[in-house]
Amino acid sequence: MKKYITDENTGISYTLVGDVYIPNLVSTDTNYEIGYWGRKHKAYIKQYKPAFYTTLLTQCKLNSYLHDVDVRATEMYDTLVKQLAKQENITEHLKATDMLAWVQAMNNISNRAREIVYKIIVYIH
């Protein structure tokens, strides 16, 4: 038996240890810090798309994939909050004159933006 083999379908290399081939799972993935949205998406794919999760994990692409999801979701969330605040005329003047109304409006906008990001990127992707 050969000491080293590579599966042509998956591209994973294996080393013979005794009578068993063990996959060489050395991570070549970069070590990005994963934020809120990336962690939420990881939990989602781990529970509802385990084959996809395992594929990313074994191909050492999970961290960079989650980082990409996190960056896109963060950008979308920030953009949505700004657009909704502008659309609803929630300004710094309102913040200075009626703090409670501003906080209520911004919490409402934040919650709506969060739900949109969940539906478009985190739980559907």
Closest CA to 122 of 63, 46, 41, 68: 41
Could you tell me the residue range of the domain that residue 111 belongs to?
31-122
- On the question of pLDDT at 56 being above 90, the answer is yes
Do 64 and 118 sit in the same domain of this protein?
yes
Q: Does pTM top 0.85 for this prediction?
A: no
Do 15 and 60 sit in the same domain of this protein?
no
pLDDT in tens, 20-36: 888 876 655 567 889 99
Q: How many distinct structural domains can be found in the chain? A: 2
Query: Amino acid identity of 65?
Result: Y
